[in-house]
Amino acid sequence: KTIDSLGDLRGKRVLVRSDFNVPLDGTTITDDGRIRAALPTLTRLVEAGARVVVTAHLGRPKGTPDPRYSLAPVAARLGELLGQDVALAEDLVGASAQSTVAGLADGQVALLENVRFDARETSKVDAEREELAGELARLADAFVSDGFGVVHRKQASVYDVAQVLPAAAGDLVLKEVESLSRATTDPERPYAVVLGGSKVSDKLGVIANLLTKADRLLIGGGMVFTFLAAQGHSVGSSLLEEDQIDTVRGYLEQAEANGVEIVLPTDIVAADAFAADAPHTTVAADAIPDGKMGLDIGPDAGALFAAKLADARTIAWNGPMGVFEFEAFAGGTRAVAQGIVDATANGAFSIVGGGDSAAAVRRLGFDEAGFSHISTGGGASLELLEGKELPGLTVLA
Ligand code: 3PG
C-alpha cells in the first residue's frame, strides 16, 4: 500500500518510521545519506499538509535513555535539510511526545527521541511490543513505514504499529524494494555480485542463496582470507574465521557444481599492522607471508574484478574490498566502484547495498548518479538478496 492509499492527509497526524541510524563522531554526523534519503517521503507529507511525527532509532542503546544515542544531531540536520525547525520530543510516548505532537501545525515535522530508549521496541515478547505500538499509535492517525534499513526487524515501530494504524509504505521503501527486486527476481544476465566486508559469518545466508542465483561471485574484504585458507593457502596474520573454513569449502564445491564462477583476488596488499600508516607491500594472494596482514585486494585483483564486471547486466555490491578508510588500503574498493560505474554506463543495472559500501562510494568521491541504486539498507538489503521475507514489508502487504 502506498501513501496515496491513506487518502487526504491535511491536518492528519502521520507517524513515519525512518532509518536515521547514521554514523556519528561524537555529536557530528559523518554521513547524512540516510537522512537525505528520507526527504522525498517527508517533503511529500509536508506538502500534503500532514502533521508529521517521525520515529527512529540510533545505535543499539540498552532499552533505556542514554545521551550518547540521542537523536538531537539528527533533528538539527533534518531541520536544515527540510528548511524548517524540527522539534525533538524528549521522550518517545510520554508527556513531551504528546505535547510536541499536539503543538504541530499542518505541514510541520517533529521527531520523537530514540525509539530504542524503550525496551519494548525490540522485545521478543509480542505483548510488550504491541503495548508500545499501541502507545505510538495514540500519537497518530496513520503510519508510513519508510525506514528501509529496519524492515528486516520485527520491532514495535516497524512491525506492530503497522497492524494498529492504517499503514502504507513510504517512497524510500518502495524505491528500495523495486530496485532490489531487479536483482532477486529474474535478473538480467550475466548477474555478478561483489561481496566484501569483514566476516563470512555475516554473509552465510546470502552466499548460499547467490550460489543458486548469480553467475559470478567476486569476493574481497576481510572475508576473503577464509576463502583463501579454504583453498589451502597461507594467510599470514590476516583476519580468518577458522570455524567457517569447512563451510566455505562447501561453497566452493557447490559453486563448481552449479556453474557459478567464484572470483578471488590474485594479489593482496599486506601490511605489518592494522594502521593507516603501516608499512605495506603487494603480495601474491596464495602466499601471504607470516606476520603480514591483508588489508586490501591488490591492483591486479582490482583490474581482474573490473574486467569481470565489464559485461555484467546486473550487479549487486555489498561490502568494501579493504580498509578503505585508510587511503593506502582503499585501492581495491575504488577499483570495484569504478568498474561498477563503467558497467552501469554501458547499461548494467547496479545496486550498492550495505551502509559501509554506500559510505565508501561517497567517501571515495564517486558520484552517486553513476550507480543505478544505492541502498540505505545494510542487513535489510542483504536479507532481500538472501531471498528472505522481511516482517516490515509483509506487514504492509
Ligand atoms: C542498520 O544500520 O543497518 C539499521 O539501522 C538497522 O540497525 P540494527 O542492525 O541495529 O537493527
Q: What is the mean pLDDT of the chain?
A: 96
CB < 8 Å & 24+ apart, contacts of 36-40: 36/81, 37/172, 37/376, 38/78, 38/146, 38/147, 38/172, 39/81, 39/82, 40/171, 40/172
* Residue where one domain finishes, among candidates 154, 172, 190: 172
- Find the helix or strand (DSSP H, E) in which 97 lies: helix 95-102
Structural domain includes residue 392: no
Q: Are residues 114 and 188 in the same domain?
A: no
Task: State the catalytic residue, choosing from 221, 222, 355, 378.
Answer: 355
Structural domain includes residue 393: no
Phi, psi dihedral angles at 17 (to 5 degrees): -90, 115
Q: Are residues 163 and 183 in the same domain?
A: no
* Model pTM score: 0.91
Structural domain includes residue 395: no
Q: Are residues 165 and 266 in the same domain?
A: no
Structural domain includes residue 372: yes
Q: Is 154 left (phi over 0), alpha (psi -120 to 50) or beta?
A: beta
Q: Are residues 183 and 204 in the same domain?
A: yes
Quote the domain boundaries for residue 276: 179-385
Percent of the chain with pLDDT over 90: 92
Task: State the catalytic residue, choosing from 199, 313, 363, 388.
Answer: 199
Structural domain includes residue 390: no
Residue with cell 491513506: 6
Instruction: Give the number of domains in the chain.
Output: 2
Mutate to test the pocket of ligand 1, among 19, 24, 148, 159 (most ligand atoms within 8 A of CB): 19
Q: Are residues 81 and 202 in the same domain?
A: no
Question: Which value does ipTM take for this structure?
Answer: 0.98
Structural domain includes residue 249: yes
How large is the average pLDDT for residues 64-92? 98
For 23, the grid coordinates are 554514523
Structural domain includes residue 312: yes
Q: Return the bridge partners of 219, or none.
A: 195
* C-alpha 291 – ligand 1 centre gap (Å): 34
Report which DSSP code applies to 159: I
Q: Are residues 190 and 90 in the same domain?
A: no
* Residue where one domain finishes, among candidates 105, 137, 172: 172
Mark 362-390 as b/e (b = at least 16 C-beta within 10 Å).
ebeebeeebbbbbbbbbbbbbbbbbeeeb
Structural domain includes residue 394: no
Q: Are residues 160 and 187 in the same domain?
A: no
Q: What is the domain-level CATH number for residue 127?
A: 3.40.50.1260
CA distance 129 to 123: 6
CA distance 55 to 48: 19
| Position 92, amino acid | L
Instruction: Give per-residue pLDDT as tens, 119-170.
Output: 999 999 999 999 999 999 999 999 999 999 999 999 999 999 999 999 999 9
Instruction: Give per-residue pLDDT as tens, 309-320.
Output: 999 999 999 999
Is residue 34 among the annotated active site residues? yes
Q: Are residues 67 and 154 in the same domain?
A: yes
> Does the Cβ of 149 fall within 6 Å of ligand 1?
yes
CA distance 361 to 352: 9
* C-alpha 315 – ligand 1 centre gap (Å): 23
How large is the average pLDDT for residues 33-53? 97
Q: Are residues 149 and 220 in the same domain?
A: no
CA distance 37 to 3: 16
CB 211 within 8 A of CB 255: yes
Instruction: Give per-residue pLDDT as tens, 98-117.
Output: 999 999 999 999 999 999 99
Q: Where are the alpha helices (DSSP H) in 236-389?
A: 245-258, 299-310, 331-345, 355-363, 379-385
Instruction: Give per-residue pLDDT as tens, 343-379.
Output: 999 999 999 987 778 888 988 999 999 999 999 998 8
Q: Are residues 18 and 44 in the same domain?
A: yes
Q: Are residues 74 and 185 in the same domain?
A: no
* Residue where one domain finishes, among candidates 156, 172, 188: 172
Q: Are residues 160 and 234 in the same domain?
A: no
